Amino acid sequence: MDGNGRWARRRGMPRSVGHKAGADNLESMCDYLNSIGVKALTVYAFSTENWSRPQDEVDALMDLLYGYLLTVEEKFKNRNMKLKISGDTSAFSEKIRGAIAHAEEVTAPGDGMVLNIALNYGGRSEITRAARLAAEAVKEGKITPDDIDEDYIGGLMYTADLPEVDLIIRPSGEQRLSNFLLWQAAYAELWYSDICWPDFKEKDMERAIIDYQNRDRRFGNV
Ligand code: FPP
């Protein structure tokens, strides 16, 4: 959900206003994607590097996140959606962790779209975590090193219960992954847009999806 800060600055407003506009846009985007049958949407809301932002911005993001989590039960139930959080949530306050646990629990029966929010997430740390978990399983004698293959490591990713990633969209003009879904990106299609996230609307998403649908995905085959 990149470009919130620039979106706000261009309007002479504090960056936190851009994050609020970004959170509002997420809601309408979820409605749209859920309505067209998308099974899972992963959004990058807070990276392992974002802690180094000015404290007032980190605080504003935490407040926004907490406020959002409190609305999930009511909003998601009507839409049959399910919430999932990916990342190391141990770094968050007890209040936020409690709200995450509650939101995940009450939306668990939903069989509509899964909104997977990456929080305190980094692709490298996700892969490192998987390697550590595999090493521990070997050490405890649960598996042998020969059992460690792509399926095993894939099963240790936060996203193990989600479908393969088909399309990664980065708004705001940057053309890089910035530590997002590194493992999962292996065969994902990429789409870059110059539009900042708060302005990235249904019609922009539709363009990206139609372009994706016209691509020839060969998965290494001919
Ligand atoms: C990147 O834009 C955006 C973020 C680091 C935060 C995204 C968070 C939200 C939209 C709201 C909180 C989450 C939820 C789920 C309610 P940027 O700040 O890097 O923008 P810039 O590149 O223009 O500076």
88-132 per-position pLDDT tens digit: 999 999 999 999 999 999 999 999 999 999 999 999 999 999 999
Confidence of residue 222 (pLDDT cuts 50, 70, 90): confident
What are the chain's domains?
4-213 (3.40.1180.10)
Model confidence pTM above 0.95? yes
Q: How far is the CA of 140 from the centre of ligand 1 (A)?
A: 40
Ligand 1 proximal residues by C-beta, below 6 Å: 1-6, 19, 22-23, 26, 45, 50, 61, 64-65, 68, 117, 172
Q: How far is CA 26 from CA 12, 23, 166, 186, 199, in A?
A: 22, 5, 19, 25, 11
pLDDT of 220 higher than 90:
no
* Average pLDDT value for residue range 191-216: 97
* Average pLDDT value for residue range 40-66: 97
pLDDT of 218 higher than 90:
no
Torsion (CA) 101, 105, 111, 115 in degrees, nearest 10: -10
**Probe residue for ligand 1, chosen from 6, 9, 19, 42 as the CB with the greatest number of ligand atoms within 8 Å:** 19
* Average pLDDT value for residue range 127-139: 98
Nearest-angstrom CA–CA distance, 105 and 123: 25
Please say whether the beta carbons of 136 and 64 come within 8 A.
Answer: no
Percent of the chain with pLDDT over 90: 96
Nearest-angstrom CA–CA distance, 57 and 53: 7
Q: What are the residue numbers of the active site?
A: 2, 50
Averaged pLDDT score across all residues of the chain: 97
